[in-house]
Chain A
Amino acid sequence: MSRPVKKLDLDPATVRQARALARRVGRPIVGLARKHTTIAVERATLRLAGLAGADAEGTPWVNRLADVVRADLDEHGGLGHGVALPVWDALLRGEADDLGTLAQKASAGSIRFRLPEGRDAARARAASRKQVATGIRRIDARRRERDRLVKRIGDAPRQPWIYLIVATGDIYEDIPQAQQAAREGADVIAVIRSTGQSLLDYVPEGATREGFAGTYATQENFRLMRAALDETSRELGRYIRLTNYASGLCMPEIAALAGMERLDMMLNDSMYGILFRDINPIRTFVDQRFSRQIHARAGIIINTGEDNYLTTADAVEAAHTVTTSQLLNEYFAKEAGLEDWQLGLGHAFEIDPDLPDSFRLELAHALLARELFPAAPLKWMPPTRHMTGDVFKGNLLDGFFNLAGALTGQGILLVGMMTEAVVTPWLSDRDLALQNVRYVMNAAGNLHEDFRPAPDGFIATRARRVLGESIELLDLILEHENGLLDAIADGTFGLMKRPPDGGRGLDGVARKSSAYYNPATELLESPVVQERAKRASRDPEAAR
């Protein structure tokens, strides 16, 4: 990442204070995440061990197996022990030769699971660790493969990376569209998921051709699209990155599948599912930590969802909620082992264009993010709220969005469409949008070298004020007895009140027992990884 010269003259002590507060807010949440597991984390572990596929009704075998294990151990703590010990105990007892057969037999009701003790437990632990390690090794191999391909084929020629979306609902339609978008200039392709997939408590299986306003995230769809883009990458001489969503009730499983199928970026926000999808807060924080550990290992860049705050609240009044969320996302990400270059922290160009000085305000907010997180590839999201159907005005607004991106050194630029809120982008819409980006980058791509906001001018003052307000918000969160959880519960973040004992997926959360064992967590938290994460989350300044 290029590191622009500092332009806002932010007080280093204030910046340190903001990070320290984010750490204080986040730390108890990490403690909570360590003390709990979820059904999705356990299923992700089974996927890493190689259990794939689904039964005739389309229910994945990981769901079948995890549900039976939980039910069998119900009287003795259920999910709280994790599934690894009972599952590998059954395999060692000779109930089945492999996980797939075990899952089939278990759903037919012919196996009774138990929690092994003593030597049986030790043997189950070792066997599960060995098998889950194959999945982790696959993720490692995929990461090396990406590094190799980027080196051999070549990387995106410039920053920001151009990020384009496809969303037909049919993977076989998505593929030629994605390849065409890459030929037209996209460096990153995101496949939008079907509406409502985040609330499914299973990952659909196989290649899918029917979705609602998007295409289901499945392992096979991941594989097909990645293979197609590899082909196009070779054709174009630059590695095209692929993005999907690790969010919703299956966040950890999708993260595991993404790692194993070499996806390159994943949407992954610390609070989005809680606030916007009413998913249980504890479920979200546990799932998020595990999924981020996988992303860290897989070399995946996460994209956080701060743009969503601005689509529901006023982009000027709520500017500090973006900064606050970025600070929290950074803390949680570093704690999980992600490095700066993997933090695609989000923000968006959503200020009402009728407001006087709206562009100066946008610049102030974008520069603040840039300077607070100098080594992160920020994700810059185009206007949506004030796109009215007047495509001519929309094209102008997108031009200013692109200019703000160029002036403030954004790392990932999601290309705005003038037909936003009118139709899903046409071929010509995408072409015009890319012409817009190219014109601005060509005409003004290096303007940031000459761009020096006056130290006490409008932009610098506004940026300092937003940072100050985000510190106040962090303080306000800390004033709650149970910190962030209480703040989420009482509606501190916008209009949504999300209590820790409510929301979807709560029944899939369990407190870990003293016997709990999860080989994936153990492998992902190996001393080396842990040390790096600890250092990064303790003192982010020193880690740079």
Chain B
Amino acid sequence: MNVETGAERLPQSPIIRPYGDTTGDGMVQLSFTLPIPHSKVAEGAAAQLANKMGMEPALVVHARPMGPDFTFFVVYGPVNHLVDTSKVEVVERDYPLLTPKEANAAIKSTLRRRLVVVGGCIGTDAHTVGIDAILNIKGFAGEKGLEYYRELKVVNLGAQVSVPQLVERARVENADAVLVSQVVTQRDAHLLNTREMSAAFRESYPSDKRPLLVVGGPRFDESMADELGVDRVFSRGTTPGEVASFLVHRLTERRAG
């Protein structure tokens, strides 16, 4: 969803430029590395790059050789670009990003019990790297995995789980959500497996009792959820915090609604 930023927070004019120490001076700072030895030419090259980025004049305030082949630069200068805040487009996540603390608090106050997550890799896929990055307490990208969340009960079934096994375990555990990771994509195995999985859950649960179905993997298209019969698709680079926030959002909302 694209929305325009609320106007009441903006200065009077939607047209702005960076601020150094005087309104309208347009000053920015920039640092980067060029793959050439330090020399007058290197400094000129840095200024040229800054010029091309819209900094005019560009002040190369620091140049430092890093080994024989590289030079690091710090450049200050005004940019000639204007920014129109009325034309800023923001893609909004349709759920708020929560810290583990906030997620725990939301579960506690809404569900009044721990939220149960069952996860695994289905089919012949033996790559647990995705599901483990999300579920293991070790986590991914500096975020702790779902096991870290006090109010989440995580059952990680690991690799090569069959769809009937997954459904059975979800039933036994009274799962609120089922997380499936698919890394292998040969002959669209990830799509076929996901459809088989969502069909199995639809068959064995009444629609209002079915756990939330979430799939993830590096080759999934996030817009395919409906087509695959799942509630959400996560793609490359998804962090545990995003998954946890989504689960909490959907499940506590469902309960509240």
A residues within 8 Å of B by Cβ? 180, 183-184, 194-196, 199, 212, 275-278, 308, 311-312, 384, 420-421, 426-428, 431-432, 495-496, 504
0/1 string, B121-151, CB within 8 A of A gives 1? 0000001110011001110111010011010
Which chain A residues border B148 with CB–CB below 8 Å? 312, 495
Taking a contact as CB atoms closer than 8 A, the residue among A195, A427, A428 that contacts B129 in the complex is A195
Are B150 and A196 closer than 8 Å at their CB atoms? no
Are B138 and A184 closer than 8 Å at their CB atoms? no
0/1 string, B93-114, CB within 8 A of A gives 1? 0000000000000000000000
Are A196 and B132 closer than 8 Å at their CB atoms? yes
Are A428 and B66 closer than 8 Å at their CB atoms? yes
B residues within 8 Å of A by Cβ? 31-33, 64, 66-67, 70, 72, 127-129, 132-133, 136-138, 140-142, 144, 147-148, 150, 156, 158
Taking a contact as CB atoms closer than 8 A, the residue among B32, B128, B141 that contacts A196 in the complex is B128
Are B129 and A196 closer than 8 Å at their CB atoms? yes
Are B132 and A431 closer than 8 Å at their CB atoms? no
What are 10 pairs between A and B in contact, CB < 8 Å? A183-B67, A184-B66, A195-B129, A196-B133, A212-B129, A275-B137, A278-B147, A495-B137, A495-B148, A504-B158
Taking a contact as CB atoms closer than 8 A, the residue among A276, A421, A426, A428 that contacts B136 in the complex is A276
Shortest Cβ distance from residue B27 to the other chain A in the assembled complex, whole angstroms: 16
Are B67 and A277 closer than 8 Å at their CB atoms? no
Shortest Cβ distance from residue B76 to the other chain A in the assembled complex, whole angstroms: 15
Shortest Cβ distance from residue A177 to the other chain B in the assembled complex, whole angstroms: 12
Q: In terms of DSSP, what is the predominant structure of the interface of chain B?
A: mixed
Are B147 and A495 closer than 8 Å at their CB atoms? yes
Shortest Cβ distance from residue B241 to the other chain A in the assembled complex, whole angstroms: 12
Are A426 and B132 closer than 8 Å at their CB atoms? no
Are B33 and A496 closer than 8 Å at their CB atoms? no
Which chain B residues border A195 with CB–CB below 8 Å? 129, 132-133, 140
Taking a contact as CB atoms closer than 8 A, the residue among B66, B127, B156 that contacts A427 in the complex is B66
Are A276 and B138 closer than 8 Å at their CB atoms? yes
Closest 8 CB pairs of A and B: A196-B129, A421-B142, A431-B66, A428-B72, A428-B33, A276-B138, A195-B129, A276-B137
Are A312 and B137 closer than 8 Å at their CB atoms? yes
Which chain A residues border B137 with CB–CB below 8 Å? 275-276, 312, 495-496
Are A428 and B142 closer than 8 Å at their CB atoms? no
Shortest Cβ distance from residue B37 to the other chain A in the assembled complex, whole angstroms: 14
Which chain B residues border A199 with CB–CB below 8 Å? 128, 132
Cα separation A428 to B64 with both chains bound (whole Å): 10
Which chain B residues border A184 with CB–CB below 8 Å? 66-67
Shortest Cβ distance from residue A57 to the other chain B in the assembled complex, whole angstroms: 12
Are A427 and B33 closer than 8 Å at their CB atoms? yes
Cα separation A195 to B70 with both chains bound (whole Å): 31
Shortest Cβ distance from residue A248 to the other chain B in the assembled complex, whole angstroms: 11
Which chain A residues border B147 with CB–CB below 8 Å? 278, 495-496
Which chain B residues border A431 with CB–CB below 8 Å? 64, 66, 72
Cα separation A184 to B69 with both chains bound (whole Å): 13
Cα separation A180 to B132 with both chains bound (whole Å): 32
Which chain B residues border A427 with CB–CB below 8 Å? 33, 66, 70
Additional pairs, 12, CB under 8 Å, beyond known A276-B137, A428-B31: A180-B67, A184-B66, A194-B129, A277-B136, A278-B147, A420-B142, A427-B66, A427-B70, A431-B64, A495-B147, A495-B150, A496-B147
The total number of A-B Cβ pairs within 8 Å is 55
Cα separation A504 to B135 with both chains bound (whole Å): 14
Shortest Cβ distance from residue A325 to the other chain B in the assembled complex, whole angstroms: 15
Which chain B residues border A212 with CB–CB below 8 Å? 129
Are B138 and A277 closer than 8 Å at their CB atoms? yes
Which chain B residues border A183 with CB–CB below 8 Å? 67
Which chain A residues border B150 with CB–CB below 8 Å? 495
Cα separation A504 to B144 with both chains bound (whole Å): 19
Which chain B residues border A428 with CB–CB below 8 Å? 31-33, 66, 72
Which residue of chain A has its CB nearest to the CB of B72?
A428
Cα separation A537 to B205 with both chains bound (whole Å): 58
* Most A C-beta atoms less than 10 A away, residue of B66, B140, B141, B150: B66
Are B136 and A278 closer than 8 Å at their CB atoms? yes
Shortest Cβ distance from residue A215 to the other chain B in the assembled complex, whole angstroms: 14
Which chain A residues border B136 with CB–CB below 8 Å? 276-278
Shortest Cβ distance from residue A371 to the other chain B in the assembled complex, whole angstroms: 31
Shortest Cβ distance from residue A167 to the other chain B in the assembled complex, whole angstroms: 13
Which chain A residues border B156 with CB–CB below 8 Å? 278
Are A312 and B129 closer than 8 Å at their CB atoms? no
Cα separation A56 to B126 with both chains bound (whole Å): 17
Which chain B residues border A432 with CB–CB below 8 Å? 72
Shortest Cβ distance from residue B152 to the other chain A in the assembled complex, whole angstroms: 10
Which chain B residues border A496 with CB–CB below 8 Å? 137, 147
Cα separation A308 to B142 with both chains bound (whole Å): 12
Cα separation A432 to B73 with both chains bound (whole Å): 12
Cα separation A184 to B72 with both chains bound (whole Å): 14
Cα separation A426 to B70 with both chains bound (whole Å): 12
Which residue of chain B has its CB nearest to the CB of A494?
B137
Shortest Cβ distance from residue A354 to the other chain B in the assembled complex, whole angstroms: 15
Are B67 and A312 closer than 8 Å at their CB atoms? no
Cα separation A431 to B133 with both chains bound (whole Å): 30
Which residue of chain B has its CB nearest to the CB of A308?
B138
Cα separation A420 to B136 with both chains bound (whole Å): 21
Cα separation A308 to B148 with both chains bound (whole Å): 12
Shortest Cβ distance from residue B150 to the other chain A in the assembled complex, whole angstroms: 6
Cα separation A489 to B72 with both chains bound (whole Å): 52
Shortest Cβ distance from residue A498 to the other chain B in the assembled complex, whole angstroms: 11
Cα separation A196 to B70 with both chains bound (whole Å): 34
Are A312 and B33 closer than 8 Å at their CB atoms? no
Which residue of chain A has its CB nearest to the CB of B159?
A199
Which chain A residues border B70 with CB–CB below 8 Å? 427
Cα separation A6 to B172 with both chains bound (whole Å): 58
Cα separation A142 to B207 with both chains bound (whole Å): 64
Shortest Cβ distance from residue B43 to the other chain A in the assembled complex, whole angstroms: 16
Shortest Cβ distance from residue A502 to the other chain B in the assembled complex, whole angstroms: 11
Cα separation A495 to B153 with both chains bound (whole Å): 11
Cα separation A420 to B142 with both chains bound (whole Å): 9
* Most B C-beta atoms less than 10 A away, residue of A183, A195, A420: A195
Which residue of chain A has its CB nearest to the CB of B145?
A276
Shortest Cβ distance from residue A389 to the other chain B in the assembled complex, whole angstroms: 10
Cα separation A431 to B140 with both chains bound (whole Å): 25
Are A384 and B140 closer than 8 Å at their CB atoms? no
Which residue of chain B has its CB nearest to the CB of A495?
B150
Cα separation A212 to B156 with both chains bound (whole Å): 20
Which chain B residues border A384 with CB–CB below 8 Å? 142
Cα separation A184 to B156 with both chains bound (whole Å): 43
